[in-house]
């Protein structure tokens, strides 16, 4: 079975994001970029399925400018076999991304498609679900455990009330949550090997997809800042303040 993993280049999760002075967008000049953490978990899960002998090949795909090849190389260093970069303008909307991925899936015919549940920049949490809809295949979002059983997939999902397990017929789309696995670190020899793995470049036009941006960003603002309050010296003082000053407890 072939696995397809979609990955996104985003700001490194350790970087504190700042709004530009003119409030047109956030400031991404000269900030460290990285593989989206949820995508990294998806790559790790695919590589584990290959190591278990469940999968035969792991193909990673990313959509964006040439810079995203860096993240594809990271995924190859983690154990993916080959990569596809789909050249597209920056910030394509989620539906365009899903349409491009659907075209790739039609060509590659993967048994399972893995994606992160959301990217930590746009926080949209929708591409995987959209892809599943376009392919008319079942989905399991927010996965914390994935088991392949023949033609089926048992996926445990993190839902608001606890955990829910679904049984899907392959091919299927899975989006990863944080506790699915702990991604490995790429070793130096694997980073070197990754440079020689195949990386194919396509364009959105090649795939017949017109990239849209129907959701226009009008501007951004910093979130309302909370200022630090006071330090209290004792539990008794705390309770007194909560009762009589803040009036939030009886």
Name which of residues 122 to 151 contact other proteins (CB under 8 A). Answer: 122-134, 137-139, 141-142, 144
- How many residues are there in the chain? 250
**Using CB under 8 A, which residues numbered 219 to 238 contact other proteins?**
219-223, 226, 228-232, 234-236, 238
CB of 87 to other proteins, least distance (A): 21
CB of 9 to other proteins, least distance (A): 15
> Exactly one of 109, 164, 187, 203 binds other proteins (CB under 8 A); which one?
164
Close Cβ partners of 152 (under 8 Å, ≥ 6 residues apart): 167, 168, 169, 170
Close Cβ partners of 218 (under 8 Å, ≥ 6 residues apart): none
CB of 243 to other proteins, least distance (A): 10
Q: Which stretch binds other proteins (CB under 8 A): 106-114, 154-162, 186-194, 199-207?
A: 154-162
CB closer to other proteins, 57 vs 158: 158
CB of 54 to other proteins, least distance (A): 19
* Ramachandran region, residue 202 (left: φ > 0; alpha: ψ -120 to 50; beta: rest): beta
Q: Which stretch binds other proteins (CB under 8 A): 45-53, 67-75, 152-160, 194-202?
A: 152-160
CB of 159 to other proteins, least distance (A): 4
Query: Could you give the CA distance from residue 250 to residue 248 in angstroms, rounded to a whole number?
Result: 7
Query: Could you give the CA distance from residue 90 to residue 92 in angstroms, rounded to a whole number?
Result: 6
Alpha-carbon 37 to chain mean position: 6
CB of 213 to other proteins, least distance (A): 9
- Number of Cβ atoms within 10 Å of the Cβ of 224: 5
Question: Quick one: 105 exposed, middle or buried, by C-beta within 10 A (0-12, 13-18, 19+)?
Answer: buried
| Binding-residue total with other proteins (CB under 8 A) | 76
Residues 194, 73 contacting (CB under 8 angstroms) = yes
> Exactly one of 157, 183, 204, 211 binds other proteins (CB under 8 A); which one?
157
**Using CB under 8 A, which residues numbered 100 to 119 contact other proteins?**
118
Residues 97, 212 contacting (CB under 8 angstroms) = no
> Exactly one of 98, 174, 180, 211 binds other proteins (CB under 8 A); which one?
98
Binding letters toward other proteins, positions 29-68, x by CB under 8 A = ----------------------------------------
Alpha-carbon 30 to chain mean position: 22
**Using CB under 8 A, which residues numbered 167 to 196 contact other proteins?**
167-169, 172, 177-179
Query: Could you give the CA distance from residue 46 to residue 4 in angstroms, rounded to a whole number?
Result: 8
> Exactly one of 53, 160, 188, 208 binds other proteins (CB under 8 A); which one?
160
H or E segment to which residue 148 belongs: strand 139-149
């Amino acid at each position: 079975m072939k696995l397809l993993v979609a990955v996104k280049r985003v700001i490194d999760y350790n970087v504190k994001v700042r709004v530009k002075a003119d409030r047109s967008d956030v400031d991404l000049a000269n900030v460290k970029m990285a593989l989206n953490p949820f995508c990294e978990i998806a790559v790790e899960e695919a590589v584990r399925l290959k190591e278990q002998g469940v999968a035969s090949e792991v193909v990673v795909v990313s959509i964006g400018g040439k810079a995203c090849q860096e993240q594809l190389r990271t995924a190859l260093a983690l154990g993916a076999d080959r990569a596809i970069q789909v050249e597209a303008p920056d910030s394509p909307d989620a539906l365009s991304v899903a349409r491009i991925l659907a075209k790739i899936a039609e060509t590659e015919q993967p048994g399972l498609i893995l994606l992160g549940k959301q990217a930590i920049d746009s926080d949209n949490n929708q591409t995987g679900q959209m892809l599943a809809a376009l392919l008319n295949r079942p989905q399991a979002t927010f996965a914390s455990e994935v088991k392949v059983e023949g033609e089926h997939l048992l996926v445990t999902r993190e839902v608001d009330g606890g955990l829910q397990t679904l049984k899907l017929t392959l091919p299927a789309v899975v989006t990863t949550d944080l506790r699915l696995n702990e991604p490995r670190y790429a070793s130096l020899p694997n980073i070197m090997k990754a440079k020689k793995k195949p990386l194919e470049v396509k364009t959105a036009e090649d795939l017949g997809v017109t990239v849209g941006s129907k959701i226009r960003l009008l501007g951004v603002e910093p979130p309302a800042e909370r200022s630090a309050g006071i330090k209290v010296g004792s539990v008794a003082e705390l309770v007194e303040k909560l009762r009589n000053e803040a009036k939030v407890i009886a």
